[in-house]
């Protein structure tokens, strides 16, 4: 993995009070009980909960660049009570009860992140203002209302999911077109880099060693290999998400897909009186090529959209701020809030999401080999990585918990196809999603052809 710099180019890293230079270790310990590869949310939450349950374990995290360098320090900051794959479970009668169980676990996870931040004094600007999905087209209002009703029929209450008619929705968020919005309180806006750096500090205080600038090249049962040397470990946990291809024995396990973000300058109070978002509700508009935004604590808008895939799973350390895909995201933001036409966009960056072949996350642990992993969250891993970390630590410690029986445990995906099939598939998903969104915008009706193709590939 090329290491150009330890700064990941995001607004979040730029807004940290200080960004200390990571230090490359000259030597590594010969052995540790648990070796974790990757210091993003997944690796750090796993270490955190493992240390809570088993303070006697020696744990070392090996990070190629610096804490939070990956998606965890670049994302949209939606700590959301949903994860990829749950809606599929809910859609089928035979898996609905499991879907409900996982969804409730995700709701609780949003509170768990808030609880730990408070208990550990991690000031990550956590505010549980919920999330608004705005119907920017009239036909989507019906689709979203139906979805809210489906949740109610499954036993969720109006305190979990609520339809806001246009007049009420506009009081929450005054955007270009607003035909109503679905609202759930199960989402908190956070500053992701403050969370990931704060969590790393607490984990270090608990006695976990974090070795930065230490790329792992390969691993096997009982041992990891780095450029500095090998380390024995009876348990090896992979938490490398969109960068998994950097490990020579993990090729084609996770597809790296870019998501792109922009952030504005801080907006004046008058503008916020127009826009709303008084509770820092996160917001999106429910189109297929996902858009997502949050009001930051310092009154900017951080806004993103799904980006692209590069042939051969190429991973760029940083996306150039001049990248044309960022122009599209910036334009989407200005279309969403026309009041922003003269506002300066101060930051433009991208980051890697990890997509597994079945398009849902999994948590894996093999007691016999001591090997485990968690990830494949696509763009929904901020809270899910906490649940995954708790789950992985239960599996490692042999806890017979409800978490260890969640359906993502042992749900091992196939490897991705070889090129050029993988590239063609990724391009097709983006193409179908864009076509479906455009068709729906022009016709104000569901796009059965393009939308159906998109759903079939992603589902
Ligand atoms: C732009 C963007 C916006 C997003 N927005 C949201 C959102 O709003 N809400 C949400 O829920 N999710 C969002 N996501 C997804 C979410 O950020 C991720 O799912 C989550 O951060 C994954 O955490 P992780 O620790 O598994 O992976 P990462 O944070 O990517 O961490 C992996 C770490 O492993 C290290 N690493 C990789 N290979 C090696 C190696 N060989 N040796 C050592 N270290 C290695 C990397 O340097 C990296 O630090 C977004 C993602 C992106 C990119």
Torsion of CA 1, 209, 118, 372, to 10 degrees: 60
Alpha-carbon span 150 to 248, nearest angstrom: 44
pLDDT of residue 459: 60
pLDDT classification of 3: cutoffs 50, 70, 90: very low
HSE of 391, CA atoms in CB hemisphere, 13 A: 29
Confirm or reject: Cβ of 81 under 6 Å from ligand 1. no
Average pLDDT over residues 130-151: 94
Is a pLDDT exceeding 50 seen at residue 312?
yes
Provide the CA 200 distance to its chain's centre, in angstroms: 18
C-alpha 184 to ligand 1 mean position (Å): 25
Which is more confident, 437 or 47?
Answer: 47
What six digits make up the tokens of 292? 């997502």
pLDDT of residue 1: 43
C-alpha 73 to ligand 1 mean position (Å): 7
Lowest mean pLDDT among 104-113, 141-150, 253-262, 423-432: 423-432
Closest atom of ligand 1 relative to the 354 alpha carbon = 19
Average pLDDT over residues 293-316: 91
Contact 297, 290 (CB under 8 A): no
Give percent of the chain above pLDDT 70: 99
Give percent of the chain above pLDDT 90: 81
Q: Find tokens 């999994």 and name the residue.
A: 362
Lowest mean pLDDT among 4-18, 20-34, 238-252: 4-18
Is a pLDDT exceeding 50 seen at residue 164?
yes
Confirm or reject: Cβ of 191 under 6 Å from ligand 1. no
- Taking each helix axis from N to C terminus, what angle separates 96-119 and 192-205, rounded to the nearest 10 degrees? 70
Alpha-carbon span 448 to 322, nearest angstrom: 35
Alpha-carbon span 297 to 194, nearest angstrom: 12
Is a pLDDT exceeding 60 seen at residue 167?
yes
pLDDT of residue 5: 61
What six digits make up the tokens of 43? 């690796």
Q: Which residues have C-beta within 8 Å of that of residue 370, sequence separation ≥ 6?
A: 221, 222, 233, 234, 235, 236
Contact 282, 78 (CB under 8 A): yes
| SS3 call for 106 | helix
Q: What is the DSSP string of 280-337?
A: --EEE---SS-EEEEE-TTS-EEEEEE----GGG---SS--TT-HHHHHHHHHHHHH-
Is a pLDDT exceeding 70 seen at residue 304?
yes
Confirm or reject: Cβ of 386 under 6 Å from ligand 1. no
Ligand 1: residue whose CA is nearest its atom 35: 38
What six digits make up the tokens of 305? 């959209």
pLDDT of residue 241: 98
Ligand 1: residue whose CA is nearest its atom 20: 381
What six digits make up the tokens of 48? 């955190």
Is a pLDDT exceeding 80 seen at residue 290?
no
Confirm or reject: Cβ of 261 under 6 Å from ligand 1. yes
C-alpha 439 to ligand 1 mean position (Å): 32
| SS3 call for 132 | strand
Confirm or reject: Cβ of 37 under 6 Å from ligand 1. yes
C-alpha 246 to ligand 1 mean position (Å): 14
Q: Report cis status (omega within 30 of 0) of the bond before 420.
A: yes
Residue 145 CB neighbour total at 10 angstroms: 15
Ligand 1: residue whose CA is nearest its atom 32: 240
C-alpha 305 to ligand 1 mean position (Å): 16
pLDDT of residue 444: 83
Average pLDDT over residues 34-61: 98
pLDDT of residue 4: 43
Is a pLDDT exceeding 70 seen at residue 210?
yes
pLDDT classification of 457: cutoffs 50, 70, 90: confident
- Nearest CA to 166 out of 152, 183, 146 is that of 183
Q: Is the pTM above the cut of 0.85?
A: yes
E strands present in 227-253: 230-238
- Rg over alpha carbons for the chain, rounded to the nearest Å, is 21
C-alpha 241 to ligand 1 mean position (Å): 6
User: How many angstroms separate the first and last alpha carbons of the chain?
Assistant: 31
Average pLDDT over residues 332-339: 95
| SS3 call for 349 | strand
Confirm or reject: Cβ of 65 under 6 Å from ligand 1. yes
Lowest mean pLDDT among 134-138, 260-264, 379-383: 134-138
Alpha-carbon span 248 to 251, nearest angstrom: 6
Q: How high is the mean pLDDT of the chain?
A: 94
Closest atom of ligand 1 relative to the 282 alpha carbon = 8
How do residues 315-325 score in pLDDT, each as one tens digit? 888 889 999 99
Domain definitions of the chain by residue range: 419-459
Contact 38, 240 (CB under 8 A): yes
- Mutation test residue for ligand 1: of 1, 5, 38, 80, the one with most atoms within 8 Å of CB: 38
How do residues 410-424 score in pLDDT, each as one tens digit? 999 999 999 898 888
C-alpha 196 to ligand 1 mean position (Å): 10
pLDDT of residue 112: 98
């Amino acid at each position: 993995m090329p290491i150009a710099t330890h700064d990941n180019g995001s607004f979040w890293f730029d807004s940290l009070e200080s960004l200390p230079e990571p230090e490359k270790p000259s030597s590594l310990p010969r052995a540790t009980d648990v070796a974790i590869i990757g210091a993003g949310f997944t690796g750090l939450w796993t270490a955190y909960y493992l240390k809570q349950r088993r303070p006697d374990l020696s744990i070392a995290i090996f990070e190629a660049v610096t804490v939070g360098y990956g998606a965890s320090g670049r994302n949209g900051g939606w700590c959301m009570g949903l994860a990829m794959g749950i809606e599929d479970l809910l859609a089928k009668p035979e898996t609905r009860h499991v879907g409900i169980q996982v969804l409730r676990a995700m709701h609780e996870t949003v509170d768990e992140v808030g609880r730990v931040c408070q208990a550990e004094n991690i000031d990550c600007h956590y505010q549980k203002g919920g999330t608004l999905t705005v119907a920017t087209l009239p036909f989507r209002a019906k689709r979203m209302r139906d979805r809210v009703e489906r949740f109610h029929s499954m036993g969720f209450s109006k305190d979990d999911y609520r339809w806001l008619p246009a007049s009420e929705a506009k009081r929450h968020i005054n955007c270009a077109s607003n035909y109503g919005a679905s609202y759930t309180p199960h989402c908190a806006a956070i500053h992701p880099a403050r969370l990931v750096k704060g969590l790393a500090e607490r984990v270090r205080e608990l006695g976990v060693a974090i070795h930065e600038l230490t790329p792992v090249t390969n691993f096997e049962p009982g041992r990891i290999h780095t450029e500095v040397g090998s380390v024995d470990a009876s348990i090896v946990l992979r938490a490398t998400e969109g960068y998994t291809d950097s490990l020579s024995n993990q090729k084609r396990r996770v597809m790296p897909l870019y998501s792109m973000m922009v952030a504005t300058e801080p907006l004046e109070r008058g503008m916020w009186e127009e826009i709303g978002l008084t509770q820092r509700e996160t917001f999106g508009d429910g189109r297929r090529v996902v858009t997502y935004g949050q009001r930051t604590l310092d009154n900017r808008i951080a806004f993103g959209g799904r980006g692209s895939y590069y042939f051969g799973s190429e991973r760029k350390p940083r996306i150039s701020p001049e990248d044309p895909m960022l122009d599209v995201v910036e334009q989407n933001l200005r279309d969403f809030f026309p009041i922003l036409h003269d506002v300066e966009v101060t930051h433009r960056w991208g980051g890697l999401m990890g997509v597994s072949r079945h398009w849902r996350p999994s948590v894996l642990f093999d007691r016999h080999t001591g090997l485990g992993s968690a990830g494949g969250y696509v763009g929904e891993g901020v809270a899910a990585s906490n649940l995954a970390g708790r789950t992985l630590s239960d599996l490692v410690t042999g806890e017979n918990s409800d978490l260890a029986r969640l359906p993502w445990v042992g749900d091992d995906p196939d490897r991705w196809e070889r090129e050029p099939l993988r590239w063609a598939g990724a391009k097709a998903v983006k193409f179908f999603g864009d076509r479906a969104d455009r068709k729906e915008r022009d016709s104000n009706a569901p796009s059965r052809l393009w939308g159906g193709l998109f759903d079939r590939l992603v589902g």
